[in-house]
Homo-oligomer: A and B are copies of this chain.
Amino acid sequence: MVRRATIGDVAAHAGVSTATVSRVLNGGAVTEATAGRVWAAVSSLDYTPNALTRGIFAGRASTIGVVIRDLSSPFYLDLIRGIDAVAAANSSLVMFANTFRPSDHEIALVRMMDEHRVRGLIVTTGESTDSRLRRMAESGTPCVVVARTVPGPPPGLHSISLNDAAAGRLMAGHLAECGRSSVGVVTSGGRPSQIARTAGLRQALTDLDLPLPEDAVTIAATEKDVDRAVGELLARAHDRGRPLDAVVCTTGRLTVAVHAALTARSVAIPDDIAFLTMDDFPWAAALGISVITQPAYQMGRRASELVVERPSRAVSVLVEPTLVARSSCGENSAGKDRADAFRPEVSS
């Protein structure tokens, strides 16, 4: 096992001091002749400077930390791509951790990011990590909370989130326009953004004189729970005497599962039941599934930018949802915008 060359080895090889080597590497005043000798030594020794040591002196690493709940969700995937794109443009690497749900170890992951003295931290965790994030922010590590609505960003933390209530309203509007009146909702539960979407949906539906009964909303924490949840939804509506003509899913994470549960029951979409969900994904166009999108890639970019630019005051960004109407809710009586292809936001 070959020992790695250190700056000292380079200095010795070039016949100069380590200070001079450091100056050559980082751009200080050095004679051309000296610089030449140093570069020769660097390449002949295959010297690769140690970023850890650099970081300890600078007080922080050059990496951007990301703690995400679920990598496989289309939203988070695009978010990461956005984060990565601006990180790369700033020659930062991304330090990544997936909490997997139901995770109480998100606290441990945020702590690890803190220990690694990340340049900034982008997080989609719950409130449990707030106190540490706040302390990190106070000691100069910009922290961005993504995709959290109520109760709003804790003071000192940046926040980027979707106008979740508007997303719910958009859903209600589209469903109403497509002539649907008995809506069932599958939501992943307790997170503020989920609650806000459902609340927005209910409010808008009520305003349209299409009230959403309490038991027309079911919670499915994971994909495993979805089939049961959908079954209950259908049964309850039937018992109530108003069979469902629309099913809404408030999280992109469960789209596949809800769709599968519907298909498994031989429900025809959109003839029997309209289907509307969150977050666009590559196959949505092929399947004709209408969705409400959030600009995930842009949100990721913005998050990274906040880390890189470290504004002095905490900034809150609220982005607006968009309806991508395809065919899963049936014919749109009004003339609304319509999209036929998946449009990846990865513009570069």
A contact residues vs B (CB 8 Å cutoff): 1-4, 46, 48-53, 55-56, 61, 63, 71-72, 77, 80-81, 84, 88, 91, 93-98, 100, 105, 109, 111-117, 135, 138-140, 256, 259-260, 263, 282-283, 285-287, 341-342, 348
Contacts and interface: CB of A to CB of B under 8 A. Distances in A.
Given A51-B117, A52-B116, A88-B105, 10 more contacts: A2-B140, A52-B117, A53-B56, A71-B81, A72-B282, A77-B77, A94-B97, A95-B96, A256-B342, A287-B287
A223 to B, nearest CB: 8
B63 A91 contact: no
A68 to B, nearest CB: 10
Nearest to A284: B283
A166 to B, nearest CB: 27
Q: Closest 7 interchain pairs by CB?
A: A51-B115, A96-B96, A283-B283, A52-B55, A256-B282, A51-B116, A52-B56
A96 B84 contact: yes
A95 B93 contact: yes
B97 A256 contact: no
A113 B63 CA distance: 11
A2 B56 contact: no
A27 to B, nearest CB: 17
B93 A46 contact: no
A63 B260 contact: no
Contacts of A112: 51, 91, 93
Given A1-B140, A77-B77, A95-B95, A56 B50 contact: yes
Contacts of A140: 1-2
B71 A77 contact: yes
Nearest to A263: B286
Q: Which residue among A53, A84, A115, A260 has the maximum number of chain B CB atoms within 10 Å of its CB? A: A115
A38 B312 CA distance: 34
A260 B287 contact: no
Contact of A71 (B80, B88, B100, B139): B80
Contacts of A48: 111, 114-115
B139 A1 contact: yes
B93 A96 contact: yes
A187 B81 CA distance: 24
Contact of A260 (B56, B139, B286): B286
A50 B117 contact: yes
Contacts of A4: 139
A115 to B, nearest CB: 4
A81 B72 contact: yes
Nearest to A283: B283
A331 B94 CA distance: 46
